[in-house]
Structure 1
Amino acid sequence: MGLLNLFIVALMPVLKVILITGVGLVMALDRIKLLGPEPNRHLNQIIFYVLSPALAATSLAETVTFQSFMTLWFMPLNLLLGYVLGSILAWLLIKITKTPKHLQGIVIGCCSAGNTGNLPLIMVPAVCEESNSPFGDPSVCSMHARPYASLSLAIGAIYMWSYVFGVLRLYVNTEMGNDSTSETLPRSSTELAVLPSTNPMHLTRFHGTITQMSTSKKIMQRMKSISEKVDLKKVFAPTAVAAVVGFIIGIATPIRKLLIGNEAPLRVIDSSAYILGEAAIPCMTLIMGANLLKGLKGSDVSQGVIIGIIAVKNILLPLIGIGVVKTALHLGLVPSDNKLYQFVLMFQFAVPPAIAVAWSMRNFNDNDVDLRSSSIC
């Protein structure tokens, strides 16, 4: 297909996102204030506890079966690689730009996570609907597009609330702990160290004992700190739990027959949840537009950090993603004849920073992150 046609196919889904985002930005203007701080907070809560879980559960339950999951097994690994590699690049960015400690957690979150949930559900089916789509017959493409996007949504939600939020929270708490506490030796060990002794062997033994006690104490304190800071309430967020429930419904044939399909006895439950879930994508995109207004008004984040995040998410990770997918193709981990699946795998590396990072902080704020700068995501 021609370059112009390919550009139009790629442009249409992006325009949809931009238009909805623009509406959200206008709604947040001071003259309108339909998405001011208070309405925004309430809408966040509705999305977090109702709309997003409904979207994750119904998308998986309706589109993913045990057979389809077995053919898409590489997608969870692909997403995990993207999150881990993004974290590594974020760590390098922090070292290069000397990012302040109160911003390091949000930088890691923005670089490691991406909008692998709502964006594929918008853009992948939209690409298939175009008459000039490079993925063949639009009806066949659309039939496969939603299972791919739904699995990306579900796995992305699980990683967001387990890996990303966990790393972000532990990293910030570790930094705070390093600033506020210092390691001290037990008084008895210190007194032993200053006892006079004419035997050098005794003195060496005392120093060795002190070193061992100090090292073991540091290890035990670090393990205790990590165990205390891992909050299961945050790991098992509503969207992550709903994704697991939807996955179980999809692969368990008896349960699936009860809920999914025109002849299912309990199909009204699935239909109602589906209606709720459909509202999640536009609402989340509207909030993204409202958050952009805060960024336009200025932030305490340096331009170097912002440019670095843009470079990581829009240049480095997409290039790495191409390499990952090509390597998987070479090793036979991904079917070579499924171009749409390959596109989704690469697309997962090319999504912008996740608004869910800032969104999660607003719903689970323990005063251990700086929310003033969360709009950089």
Structure 2
Amino acid sequence: MAFLDLFVVALIPVLKTLLITAVGLLLAVPRVNILGDAARHHLNNVVFYVFIPALVGGSLADTVTATSLVSLWFMPVNILLTFIIGSGLGWVLVKITRTPEHLHGLVMGSCAAGNLGNLLLIIVPALCEESNSPFGDKLTCSANGQGLVSLSMAIGSVYIWSYVYNIIRAYGNLNGKDIAKASTISIDCSGKTLDMFTENYNEALLQSRHSSFEDCEAPDVECAEEEELSIVLEDEENKKVTVLTKIKLHVDAFSDKINLKMWLTPSTIATIVGLLIGVISPIRKVMIGDNAPLRVIDSSASLLGEATVPAMTLIVGANLFKGLKKSGVGLWLMVGILVVRYVTLPIVGIGIVKAAQHVGFVGSDSLYQFVLLIQYSLPPAMAIGTITQLFEEGESECSVIMLWTYGVAAISLTLWSTFFMWLVS
């Protein structure tokens, strides 16, 4: 494939994203004020609860079967490695650049989670359509590519809302309270309640001790013994309260940092449902296909899912309005994110995929290898913008990061796609 043709293939999806981002920015301008704070909040909830689950569940149900799931077992491992390695590099980056603590989670999430969905949905079929593509027959390549991309998108969504979500939440300076918009219930674990309990308990204990001393009319031996016993009991009770308080504080701090409820997000539930529909043959025959009795459910889910990418991108563009005026993303931090995403991760990915192929974890299918490789070279996931919007933390900075990473992705994706195609052909 000619370099210019590949450049156009890589440029089109990125250019679409940037154009929709510009529309979102325009809608957030005060003179227009269509995507103000309240509108972004409500649209973000619709994306979180409706659009993303419909996209993930519908794509999986349509394309994944029991046979393909077994043969593609290495893909979840590969994507998990991209998240772990990327977040590790992001942690090193924030330490080097001395990034403000409330942005640590955003930077680590941007380095960890790539756009494993909509970009691949455009790039992979476009590569299959090329006459000189190294992936064989067009129809076979397109069908197989759709299944690979759908599985990649679903797995990436699960990791984003279980791994990246909690990273951003842990560094978001939420001070023990969760965001109601994320549909979670949280108790204030700042320690104030426990401190008040300890103070009240000690006060009651001292009053009790004072009352017992008043009952002693003379400082005889019996009263002295009672006083000594009271002091010992007080020390023991204070020690117990202190230990219990410390244990309680540690447990509360852990539960505050890791929100286990978000492991079962709408997108995760949709992934489970989509896998069950695709893998269980009787259910699949009832819901999937032109002659399926309940095919209208699948069609409706697909229709809703198509709105996911435009809605998320509009939100990112609207948040960009604040970021253009003032942003906490410095030059060197932005350069570091670009280096992590477009230089370090792809090089690491080549070593991992080639090692997996050498030991037999990955077969000889060139398209499968290409998808595994390109998962290391994608710009940050748009869902990160949804997470920052949920927490109202770092929205403008996230938009600036998206603007620069997607702008550079036009060149980066072209170069890496060319090299990966040469590598697997």
TM-score if structure 1 supplies the norm length?
0.81
Question: Is the alpha carbon distance of 1:240 and 1:118 closer, same or farther for their aligned partners in structure 2, counting shifts above 3 Å?
Answer: farther
What is the match of residue 167 of structure 2? 167
1:260-310 deviations in Å (ceiling 9; x for gaps):
112222111111111111221222233333334443333123222222122
Q: Distance in 2 between matches of 1:31 and 1:125?
A: 40
- The equivalent position to 1:373 in structure 2, one of 381, 397, 400, is 397
Which residue of 2 is the match for residue 99 of structure 1?
A: 99
Alignment of 1:239 with 2:263, yes or no, is no
Distance 1:110 1:125 in 2: 26
Deviations 1:162-217, CA, capped at 9 Å, x for gaps: 1111233234469999xx88xx9x9xxxxxxxxxxxxxxxxxxxxxxxxxxx9999
**How many Å apart are 1:18 and its aligned residue?**
3.4
- 1:54-88 deviation digits (Å, cap 9, x = unpaired): 11110000100010111111110011000000111
Task: List gaps (5 residues or longer) in structure 2.
Answer: 178-189, 199-241, 403-425
Q: Distance in 2 between matches of 1:32 and 1:175?
A: 35
| Pairing partner for 1:327 from 332, 336, 355 | 355
Aligned to 2:182: none
Q: Contact 1:52 / 1:277 at 8 angstroms: preserved in 2?
A: yes
What is the CA-CA distance between 1:233 and the residue it aligns to?
Answer: 3.4
Find the counterpart in structure 1 of residue 376 from structure 2: 349
Contact (CA 8 Å) 1:170, 1:226: kept in 2 or not? no
Q: Choose which of 360, 367, 377 in structure 2 pairs with 1:340.
A: 367
Q: By how many angstroms is 1:218 displaced?
A: 6.6
**Distance change in 2, residues 1:292/1:349 (3 Å):** farther
Q: 1:32 to 1:124 in 2, by over 3 A?
A: farther
Contact 2:176 2:256 in 1 (8 A): no
Instruction: Look up the match of 1:78.
Output: 78
Q: 1:130 to 1:47 in 2, by over 3 A?
A: farther
Aligned mates of 2:112, 2:6 — CA distance in 1: 29
Residues 8-64 of structure 1 deviation map (CA, whole Å, 9 limit, x = unaligned): 333344333334334434444444444333333222222111111111110000100
The aligned counterpart of 1:303 is 331
Q: In structure 2, how many angstroms separate the alpha carbons of the residues matched to 1:19 and 1:141?
A: 29
Supply the AA of the counterpart residue of 1:82. T
RMSD of aligned Cα (Å): 3.1
Cα distance in 2, alignment partners of residues 215 and 112 from structure 1: 38
What residue is the counterpart of 1:194 in the other structure? Answer: none
Work out the CA distance in 2 between the residues paired with 1:3 and 1:373. 34
* Residue 278 of structure 1, aligned match among 285, 292, 306: 306
In 2 relative to 1, CA 27–174 (structure 1 residues): closer, same or farther, beyond 3 Å?
A: closer
The Cα of 1:107 is off from its aligned counterpart by 1.5
User: What pairs with 1:246-285 in structure 2 (closer than 5 Å)?
Assistant: 246-285=274-313
Q: Is the 8 A contact 1:53 1:238 kept in 2?
A: yes
Deviation string 1:296-347 (CA, Å, 9 cap, x unpaired) is 33312322222212221122112211221122122221112x2221121122
Greater CA deviation, 88-97 or 217-226? 217-226
Query: What residue is the counterpart of 2:387 in the other structure?
Result: 360
User: Aligned ranges for residues 44-59 of structure 1 at < 5 Å?
Assistant: 44-59=44-59
**Inter-CA distance 79–219: structure 2 relative to 1 (3 Å threshold):** farther
SS across alignment from 1:263: coil
User: Could you tell me which residue of structure 2 aligns to residue 200 of structure 1?
Assistant: none
Report the counterpart of residue 3 of structure 2 in structure 1: 3
**Cα gap change, 1:174/1:325 in structure 2, threshold over 3 Å: closer, same or farther?**
farther
**Structure 1 residues 272 and 370 mapped into 2: Cα distance closer, same or farther (>3 Å)?**
closer
SS in 2 for 1:354: coil
Check conservation: 1:14, 1:123, Cα contact below 8 A. no
4-13 vs 98-107, greater mean Cα deviation: 4-13
Specify the code of the residue in structure 2 equivalent to 1:159: Y
For residues 215 and 95 of structure 1, the distance between their equivalents in structure 2, rounded to whole angstroms, comes to 34
* SS of equivalent to 1:269: helix
Q: Which has the larger radius of gyration?
A: 2
Give yes or no for contact 2:14–2:119 (8 Å, CA) kept in 1: no
CA drift at 1:240: 1.6
- Report the CA distance between 1:219 and its aligned residue: 7.4
* Aligned counterparts, 1:44-193, within 5 A: 44-172=44-172
Matches within 5 A, 1:33-48: 33-48=33-48
Report if aligned partners of 1:47, 1:280 keep a CA contact under 8 Å in 2: yes
SS across alignment from 1:115: coil
Question: Against the structure 1 CA distance between its residues 314 and 293, is the aligned structure 2 distance closer, same or farther, given a 3 Å change threshold?
Answer: farther
In terms of mean alpha carbon deviation, does 140-149 or 71-80 score higher? 140-149
Cα shift at 1:150: 0.7
Which structure 1 residue ranges, 5 or more long, are not aligned?
A: 187-213
8 Å Cα contact 2:158-2:268 kept in structure 1 = yes
- CA drift of 1:117 comes to 2.7
Q: How many residues in Structure 1 have an aligned counterpart in Structure 2?
A: 344
2:291 partner SS: coil
Asked if structure 1 preserves the Cα contact closer than 8 Å seen for 2:103 and 2:171, the reply is no
Runs of 4+ in 1 over 6 A off after TM superposition: 174-177, 214-220
Q: Is the 8 A contact 1:12 1:126 kept in 2?
A: no
1:21 matched to which residue of 2?
A: 21
Identity %: 51
3-state SS, counterpart of residue 301 of structure 1 = coil
- Asked if 1 retains the 8 angstrom alpha-carbon contact of 2:9 and 2:123, the reply is no
In structure 1, what is the Cα distance between the partners aligned to 2:349 and 2:25?
Answer: 31
